[in-house]
Structure 1
Amino acid sequence: MTKLFITRHGQTAWNIEGRLQGQKDSRLTELGEKQARWLGESLKDVDIDLIISSSSGRAYRTAEIIRGNRKIDIVPNNNLMEMNIGEWEGQLHTEIEEHSPDQQRNFWNFPHMYKPRGGETFYQVLDRASNEIEKIISEHEGKNILIVTHAVVLRALITYFEKKDIKDFWNGTFMHSTCLNIVDVGKDIRTFILQGDISHYQE
């Protein structure tokens, strides 16, 4: 049985400011680094064979902190980067609401209707994330793999594994920073045994 431990990066400066990050980047906050350490501590007795991280700085730094002093390779992966949200990247939610209210509403409430300006659709992110996760599974059969990614990609993987429609993309457990999701992978099964868990938070 292959086991996937999938998490989101720690809190960032732009998360605090209310800016959409997408494939742009901002540093982890002090709390974001703590969140990564807490998750690392909770996984200290788990035999992780490999860490595969989004190549974005915030995700890769989260992976490094989770790893701590353990001798585990971290492999950066461009296909696990966050959704490309085009012109919105780096903008405040309030700014987007002012100039693109209809598409902002679609993004959060009707993802199947969202049409980006220069970025990806939810369908494209789902294709990218699902193709990459199947490649990872096939190349690392029988291993425990930690994957560090982003909120939209994480929700895309949940949508894929649970065979949900894009219109239901945002339904379900909220994906907090460094929340832990565990998936058991067999020949024809993909089963969540934990989803959106933040029991490792210490404050």
Structure 2
Amino acid sequence: MSEKLWRGNLLKLYFVRHGETEWNTEKRLQGHLDSRLTKNGVNHTLLLAEIMANTRFESVISSPSPRAVHTAKLLIGKRPLALKTDGRFKEINLGNWQGMTHEEIKAADPYRYDCYFHHPDLYKQDKMGGENFSDVKTRLEEFLGNLEETYQAGNVLIITHGVVIKVLQMICKNKSVGDIWEPPIIEGTSLTIVKVEKGKRKIIIEGDISHKEK
């Protein structure tokens, strides 16, 4: 990552996906449910913390899900930074899929499973009691608008989830829901930085996992 991207008077939003969890390794969808960070999840977070050690943050905001909060606390370390949480950064609510493996969902709900991963514009929550991708987009856009009114410059660290960051990419690139799974993949502890200037958002680092290669 270029050091020059970490300096200046612009507003930069540092989006980090939480570290790898036990359910990630079991290929279970978590949504609003939760599981603990694995040893790899903790270690990769600490490696990212080293990379960002000299970056000054005006604020740190996390999804309230325990896996995200744990990741945020590891990134903060001993810095005198208060951790805020905001429910608008929670993962997509997947209703009755939550806690199930991919294979279990594929067997029980094959049409909706295919829509979710291959035709996301056709995916609907129906009777699942969860959210559509457009619901995540609505709450994320609301938060971004509020945040940009509060901060005009500096760096803000945000710890969230995979689908939230995929929706962020969609928003910044002016893409449709049907394009949500376009590369890059958002891995655990990956870093995506969005520059905000004159009301315009531009991704300048996307899904970076170079810290995991150390």
Task: Give the TM-score taking structure 2 as reference length.
Answer: 0.92
Give the % identical residues: 36
Partner of 1:40: 49
- Counterpart amino acid of residue 23 in structure 1: H
- Among candidates 61, 66, 72, match of residue 63 of structure 1: 72
2:16 aligned partner: 7
| Equivalent residue for 2:97, pick from 68, 71, 88 | 88
Runs of 4+ in 1 over 3 A off after TM superposition: none
State the Cα RMSD in Å: 1.0
1:160 maps to amino acid: I
Query: Unaligned regions of 5+ residues in structure 2, if any?
Result: 1-9
AA paired with 2:182? N
Tell me if structure 2 keeps the 8 A contact 1:10–1:28.
yes
Aligned to 2:189: 178
Q: 1:80-131 CA deviation, whole Å, 9 max, x = no partner?
A: 0000000000011110010101100100111110112110011111111121
Structure 1 residue 202, shift from structure 2 partner:
4.2
The residue number in structure 1 matching 2:6 is none
What are the equivalent positions in structure 2 for 1:119-138 lying under 5 Å apart? 119-138=130-149
**Cα deviation digits, residues 113-163 of structure 1 (max 9, x gap):** 011211001111111112112211211221210000000011111111111
Counterparts of 2:82 and 2:11 in 1: how far apart (Å)? 18
Q: Does the 8 A contact of 1:38 with 1:202 survive in 2?
A: no
In 1, the alpha carbon distance for the partners of 2:200 and 2:140 equals 17
Structure 1 portions without partners, runs of 5+: none
Contact 1:36 1:66 (C-alpha < 8 Å) held by counterparts? yes
Q: Deviation of residue 187 (structure 1)?
A: 1.6
Q: Aligned partners of 2:145 and 2:117: how far apart in 1?
A: 27
- 2:7 is matched with none
1:195 match = 206
CA distance in 2, matches of 1:164, 1:110: 14
In the TM superposition, what are the counterparts of 1:15-164 in structure 2 within 5 Å? 15-116=24-125, 117-164=128-175
CA distance in 2, matches of 1:72, 1:88: 36
CA deviation after TM superposition for structure 1 residue 188, in Å: 2.5
TM-score by length of 1: 0.97
CA deviation map 1:40-92 (0-9, x unaligned): 11000111121100000000100000111111111011110000000000011
Structure 1 CA distance, aligned partners of 2:149 and 2:183? 27
Structure 2 Cα separation of the partners of residues 62 and 130 of structure 1: 23
